[in-house]
Structure 1
Amino acid sequence: MDNVWNIVFVTSFLLSIVIFLILFKNKKLVLKSKCIKQLPLGTLGLPFIGETIEFVSCAYSDCPERFMDKRQHKYGKVFKSHIFGNRTIVSTDADVNKFILQSDANVFVPSYPKSLTELMGKSSILVINGSLQRRIHGLIGAFFKSQQLKSQITRDMQKYVQESMANWREDQPIYIQDETKNITFQVLVRALISLNPGEEMELLKKHFQEFISGLMSLPINFPGTKLYQSLQAKKKMVKLVQRIIETRRNSDTSKVPKDVVDVLLNDSSEQLTDDLIADNMIDMMIPGEDSVPVLITLAIKYLSECPVALQQLKEENVKLQKLKDKLGESLCWSDYLSLPFTQTVITETLRMGNVITGVMRKAKKDVEIKGYSIPKGWCVLAYFRSIHLDDKNYECPYKFNPWRWQDKEMNIYNFTPFGGGQRLCPGLDLARLEASIFLHHLVTQFMWYAEEDSIVNFPTVRMKKRMPILVRRVES
């Protein structure tokens, strides 16, 4: 009898376990189902490649917003996709983007394609998180806002712009993006490591071109591949910067920093190693190669298509130049940034051109925003371009209208050309300053026109690196 009861007891116990496991499994399935239901609508596309091909092909076309518009219409402003090898939640919603940008490293961390992450390195300010990232970002941001650096940038930019424009000829096309790229790269390198034009600058420039050519390459690293060549080029640049750092460490470094290297060397933290400083100097050269030249090129493109805006810009800058000539003074950085219409032209160019189209992050934990669920491990693309070109945010968004910014405060949620939050681009004021200086010297010294077949749309201008103008020097 005892054995029978034992058998009954064991059988009942086992059945209870089985029933519990079935119910637990079903509960998990229900919870998982609910989680899936909470995900934004959308499609993950083809196996492995997802929707990457369509996303990239649209980005390289004259209508990059086609990818987003199609999905917004079908799924809403927040939708799921699969791009660059990752399951991704794409946001074209200003509130959602604000949450993503302002979240700390406990919620979202940067996410980049594998080739770019490998080239940047583990110590890059674009990749690191937490207190170290905040420390470096704060040190560099404060230096970039200093009157000392703004004065230096102004002098250097004026000098290099004048040297470049002195070689312009009326019978030769001027390729604006190429001209500005050469100028802004030298200005930025001077601010970072105090390297002057010469053999070392030319060698650095050569290696840098090899380096950036692999930023969006296939993540295959062996001799002969683009990624391998880029990594080798970066090693050469890092050695050059490390020699500069070593020289500074062996000398009595001034407590008043003259460049970003000095700023980081003067910091008492032992976390800022020579390797970390050298790596970040290389990464911070990228805006001088890409962002600022594209901003200036697009401003000239839009002004070429809007004669009324061009005329008003010219009158404002000529008036200032005449005043400074009468006083016997040269223009300083505050003069350039005090030109109200020039600044509205730059702001409108940033809105329409979208030099930075968006940022990618990865969720460190399950996140819910405005009713949308973002699972841990999924990527998030906060896409700025769609917000900047949304007719609900801007009237006639595809029309270049710098007057829309007159007597109007910028909405930081609907206008994020430099990102936001803890990773807001520290060089945003310097980008405006450099664009203002170039536009001032261009409109006060030259008249120009662009042939119809040379006017190209963004982002084609970034890819082709060509928008030639023909100039005629005006009499002073």
Structure 2
Amino acid sequence: METTKQGMGQNLCVCVYVCRYGKVFKTHILGTPIIVSTDPAVNKVVLQNHGNIFIPAYPKSIREIFGEYSILQTNGTLQKKVHALIGGFLRSPQFKTRITKDIEHHVKLTLTSWKDRPLLLIQEETQKFTFKVLVKALLSLDPSDDLDFLKREFDEFIKGLICLPIKLPGTRLYKSLKAKERIFKLVKKIVEQRKLGLEKSEDQEHQNTIPNDAVDVLLRDISGEQNDKQSLSLDFIISHIIELMIPGEETVPMSMTLAVKFLSDCPVALELLTEENMKLKRQKTDSGDDYCWTDYMSLQFTQNVINETLRVANIINAVWRKALKDVEIKGILIPEGWCVLTSFSSVHMDEENYENPYEFDPWRWEKTGASVKNNCFTPFGGGQRLCPGLELSRLEISIFLHHLVTTYRWIAEKDDIIYFPTVKLKKKLPIRVTSIGNSP
């Protein structure tokens, strides 16, 4: 299978080191000594001991582009507080009920625009609506000139996430930093307007209402805890909101794109997924009821496909941590100041953890031992920095796949996955669609 060959290429270098030195080994990256862990037990300890033993440590260009208020650089009680605020909001049933309607709206608009188009690039098409959905959840920003401006500048900004740390005019880092300045200015205007509105409202009345978006959640913390030393500054809120937009531009649309690719390469899985989703569509048509978020999440084989896509794709393939003191894990000494790279992709592609790991096999998630809660499945990270939007990501992918397979059949052109500097499809996955019934 094509997926197998590409996955092997992604992990070949690490596999050579593992065969020679074991699952945890020392090496150098850009002249910096680093410990690479492909052991799920070691990874678990590193991820769960955030703040007191390990802190995030990323290349200079990433630190510079995100700035001093970066999510990656926030540690201790402040990180726990913000993670709890955002995670609690994104996981709430009220939010998921509301965002389901927004996702459905944008997915249906996108699918409708595909009619009579001879060729589509899935990677581009998914990016069009996932960014809009996430910005609505973060800022309540509807389609507008501001949203178009934000999308253009964000495209420029995100190109510099992995680049040479050279900040001279004309360099990639310089262009990305300038784009972020323009993004910051726009988001600051929106946040300041919202803060002013909050200050004018009745405090008790506002506190009793459900937050509209992530900005609302974070601003309420300011108004509710004026004397709290951990109260959030406006610059902190703005920086975090900007970083939280990244999944809408990168990880979620790429997960959707790769799901389409893997399903195209596995007709049996596509057929089963289509049958499951067509059954739900018929039930809703017969009852006349609207979809709710629990309907999409109850599609078990669809969830298996999503799990397997996340496992094979490895869009987030590792995280970096630095030891604050000497620490020993499973007999391995990690010296103070050394960085640890916890490799998720190596764990996901280890035959000790998954049978035939390079094959796209959604059925593996029906078997005993395959669980989204075990240490060997970490597409969203783990520990105190587990992605707060993981449930939103799953919901968005589920809704997209449901309406895609119940609206169109497609033929995908052969395409290759590129893993560096970030996961992409070489040709953006061209497909040709044929309508199978009523408009979405």
The residue aligned with 2:366 is 406
The residue aligned with 2:3 is none
Q: How far does residue 224 in structure 1 lie from its aligned partner after superposition?
A: 2.2
* Residues 222-241 of structure 1 aligned to structure 2 (within 5 Å): 222-241=168-187
Contact 1:91 1:381 in 2 (8 A): yes
The residue aligned with 1:17 is none
Query: Counterpart of 1:405 in 2: which secondary structure?
Result: helix
Q: How far does residue 246 in structure 1 lie from its aligned partner after superposition?
A: 1.3
The reply on whether 1:435 has 2:405 as its aligned counterpart is no
Q: How far does residue 458 in structure 1 lie from its aligned partner after superposition?
A: 5.4
Query: Counterpart of 2:73 in 1: which secondary structure?
Result: coil
Give % identity.
51
Contact 1:366 1:373 in 2 (8 A): yes
| Closer, same or farther: CA 398–90 of 1 in aligned 2, 3 Å | same
Q: Which amino acid aligns with 1:379?
A: C
Aligned match for 1:92, one of 26, 38, 43: 38
The residue aligned with 2:279 is 319
- Cα distance in 2 for partners of 1:263, 1:151 equals 17
The residue aligned with 2:146 is 200
- Cα distance in 1 for partners of 2:168, 2:418 equals 34
The residue aligned with 2:334 is 374
Q: How far does residue 455 in structure 1 lie from its aligned partner after superposition?
A: 2.7
The residue aligned with 1:25 is none
Q: Which amino acid aligns with 1:212?
A: I
Q: How far does residue 459 in structure 1 lie from its aligned partner after superposition?
A: 2.9
The residue aligned with 1:291 is 251
Stretches of structure 1 lacking an aligned partner (at least 5 in a row): 1-59
Q: How far does residue 473 in structure 1 lie from its aligned partner after superposition?
A: 0.5
Aligned match for 1:341, one of 267, 287, 301: 301
The residue aligned with 1:23 is none
- Cα distance in 1 for partners of 2:363, 2:256 equals 19
Query: Counterpart of 2:417 in 1: which secondary structure?
Result: coil
**Aligned-pair RMSD on alpha carbons?**
1.6
The residue aligned with 1:396 is 356
The residue aligned with 1:385 is 345
Structure exhibiting the larger radius of gyration computed from Cα positions: 1
- Cα distance in 2 for partners of 1:126, 1:95 equals 23
Measured against aligned partners, the alpha-carbon deviations of 1:309-359 in whole angstroms (never above 9, x if no partner) come to 111100110010110111111211110001111001101111111121011
The reply on whether 1:468 has 2:422 as its aligned counterpart is no
Query: Counterpart of 1:96 in 2: which secondary structure?
Result: helix
Measured against aligned partners, the alpha-carbon deviations of 1:281-324 in whole angstroms (never above 9, x if no partner) come to 11111111110011111111111111111111001100101101
- Cα distance in 2 for partners of 1:180, 1:104 equals 34
The residue aligned with 2:406 is 444
Contact 1:419 1:425 in 2 (8 A): yes
- Cα distance in 2 for partners of 1:414, 1:407 equals 15
Q: Which amino acid aligns with 2:274?
A: K
The residue aligned with 1:266 is 220
Stretches of structure 2 lacking an aligned partner (at least 5 in a row): 1-5
- Cα distance in 1 for partners of 2:395, 2:355 equals 27
Q: Which amino acid aligns with 1:455?
A: D
| Closer, same or farther: CA 463–226 of 1 in aligned 2, 3 Å | farther
The residue aligned with 1:172 is 118
Q: How far does residue 215 in structure 1 lie from its aligned partner after superposition?
A: 1.2
- Cα distance in 1 for partners of 2:31, 2:102 equals 42
Q: Which amino acid aligns with 2:241?
A: M
Q: How far does residue 411 in structure 1 lie from its aligned partner after superposition?
A: 4.6
Q: How far does residue 106 in structure 1 lie from its aligned partner after superposition?
A: 2.0
- Cα distance in 2 for partners of 1:66, 1:395 equals 18
Q: How far does residue 463 in structure 1 lie from its aligned partner after superposition?
A: 5.6
Query: Counterpart of 2:328 in 1: which secondary structure?
Result: strand
Q: Which amino acid aligns with 1:201?
A: L
| Closer, same or farther: CA 463–83 of 1 in aligned 2, 3 Å | farther
